[in-house]
């Protein structure tokens, strides 16, 4: 390097050049320097640095940076793949489960893990599958029961049509009356089935404020035409309920009709309503044969009839309709029965704050004795 400096004649200009050295190429700068005004005291300021070594260090840093970046990208990709896999696992389970679910088997459910949005989605889908399974099961039971019940009147109609003597006017008239009666029974059964099928629709109920006392008396006035019974008003609730008056009247008349079917002429049938803490209660009681404890759960099923029902007309859908209407109101049907002493069916509906704060119940008005016992 000194030889290179000596080769450069200081002529007052700054010189920059690359110089080969034992450590590699170095970049050198020579700057003329003069001390004072004496020309003999002039010299040169020399500065040099190993450029290859600096470049090599930069290249080493670049290689390290590239390696670290690659490893970081791989780690980030691996972690992202794991995280996205965990996040999307419920969606994959949802897809796989829905592919396995068929109409024949709706029992499989998606495992729920965690409390994030996807877990909530999984719970929602499971709830939807529960409702779907229940709806399909109900539909199957409905079709099986309806097919079984409709087969009997259709068999009767077919049998009488096959044996009727068209040349015998009396036989034709008798067969015609019997067939019309069976067709009326089928028509009533179809109407009941349509009503039950509408129970899950949002417009099944038309809720409105109703006067409980007026509803109770109105039901009693209509029920007296169902049969020769001693119709009694047990009591009336004083208050307003939020309910569907037509559906409640239908349910109460179904219970009254059921009481007439299973009680003797001239026996007592009581109708009443009351406000209990948190409940609105409407009931029909009779003095019929009662219901055995083993029959209590069965009689509310579709097409079910009580003991000795062979001589009783009806489709077996009446109590099922009553329970459906009560359930649609958010309530239930309670039964108190003593074999040989009669039964009391009570529709229990949840009371609002306004209803709950009203008077419990009132005795029938003595000034209107026709409301107490109706012949």
**Domain of residue 249, CATH code:** 3.30.565.10
pLDDT given at position 285: 94
- 101, part of any domain: no
| pLDDT tens, residue by residue, 352-369 | 645 554 444 444 443 333
pLDDT given at position 166: 87
What residues contact 338, with CB distance under 8 A and at least 6 apart?
290
The number of CA neighbours under 13 Å toward the Cβ of 80 is 6
Same domain, 137 and 219: no
Whether 309 and 300 have beta carbons less than 8 Å apart is answered as no
pLDDT given at position 361: 45
Task: Choose among 199, 196, 303, 321: nearest CA to 257.
Answer: 321
Whether 372 and 233 have beta carbons less than 8 Å apart is answered as yes
Whether 189 and 317 have beta carbons less than 8 Å apart is answered as yes
* C-alpha–C-alpha distance, residues 249 and 215, integer Å: 7
Number of domains in the chain: 3
Same domain, 212 and 196: no
What percentage of the chain reaches a pLDDT higher than 90?
22
Domain boundary among 65, 95, 125: 95
- 111, part of any domain: no
Low-confidence stretches of the chain (pLDDT < 50) are 308-311, 353, 357-375
Report the DSSP beta bridge partners of residue 242. Answer: 209
* C-alpha–C-alpha distance, residues 274 and 359, integer Å: 9
The number of CA neighbours under 13 Å toward the Cβ of 257 is 17
What residues contact 244, with CB distance under 8 A and at least 6 apart?
205, 206, 207, 208, 325, 329
- 22 CB burial (10 A radius; 0-12, 13-18, 19+): exposed
pTM attached to this predicted model:
0.57
pLDDT given at position 8: 57
pLDDT given at position 249: 92
pLDDT given at position 153: 79
Domain boundary among 142, 165, 200: 200
Strands (E), the chain: 15-21, 24-34, 42-50, 208-211, 230-235, 240-243, 268-276, 279-285, 332-338, 342-350, 373-374
CA dist 115 to 95, 161, 246, 357, Å? 20, 66, 44, 41
Q: What is the CATH number of the domain that holds 154?
A: 1.10.287.130
Domain housing 263? 208-374
Q: Which two tokens stand for residue 157?
A: 């109609």
* C-alpha–C-alpha distance, residues 92 and 75, integer Å: 24
Same domain, 225 and 366: yes
Same domain, 232 and 366: yes
Same domain, 138 and 32: no
Longest dimension (CA), the chain: 160
* C-alpha–C-alpha distance, residues 132 and 336, integer Å: 34
Same domain, 128 and 224: no
* C-alpha–C-alpha distance, residues 132 and 105, integer Å: 11
């Amino acid at each position: 390097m000194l030889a290179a400096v000596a080769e450069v004649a200081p002529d007052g200009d700054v010189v920059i050049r690359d110089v080969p050295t034992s450590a590699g190429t170095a970049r050198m700068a020579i700057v003329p320097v003069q001390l004072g005004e004496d020309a003999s005291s002039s010299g040169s300021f020399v500065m040099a640095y190993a450029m290859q070594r600096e470049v090599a260090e930069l290249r080493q840093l670049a290689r390290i940076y590239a390696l670290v970046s690659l490893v970081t990208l791989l780690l980030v990709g691996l972690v992202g793949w794991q995280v996205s896999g965990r996040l999307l696992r419920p969606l994959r389970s949802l897809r796989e489960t829905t592919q396995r679910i068929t109409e024949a088997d709706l029992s499989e459910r998606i495992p729920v893990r965690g409390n994030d949005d996807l877990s909530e989605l999984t719970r929602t889908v499971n709830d939807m599958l529960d409702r779907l399974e229940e709806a399909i099961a109900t539909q199957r039971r409905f079709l099986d029961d309806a097919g079984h019940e409709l087969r009997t009147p259709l068999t009767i109609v077919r049998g009488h049509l096959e044996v009727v003597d068209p040349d015998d006017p009396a036989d034709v008239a008798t067969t015609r009356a019997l067939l019309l009666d069976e067709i009326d029974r089928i028509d009533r059964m179809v109407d009941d089935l349509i009503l039950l099928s509408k129970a899950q629709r949002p417009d099944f109920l038309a809720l409105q404020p109703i006067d409980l006392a007026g509803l109770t008396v109105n039901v009693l006035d209509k029920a007296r035409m169902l049969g020769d019974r001693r119709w009694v008003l047990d009591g009336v609730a004083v208050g307003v309920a939020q309910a569907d008056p037509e559906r409640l009247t239908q349910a109460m008349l179904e219970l009254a009709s059921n009481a007439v079917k299973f009680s003797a002429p001239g026996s007592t049938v009581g109708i009443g309503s009351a406000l209990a803490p948190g409940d609105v209660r409407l009931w029909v009681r009779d003095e019929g044969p009662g219901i055995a404890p083993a029959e209590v759960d069965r009689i509310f099923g579709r097409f079910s009839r009580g003991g000795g029902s062979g001589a009783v007309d009806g489709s077996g859908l009446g109590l099922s309709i009553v329970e459906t209407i009560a359930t649609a109101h958010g309530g239930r049907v309670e039964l108190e029965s003593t074999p040989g002493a009669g039964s009391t069916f009570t529709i229990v509906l949840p009371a609002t704050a306004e209803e709950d704060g009203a008077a419990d119940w009132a005795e029938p008005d003595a000034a209107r004795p026709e409301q107490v016992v109706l012949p």
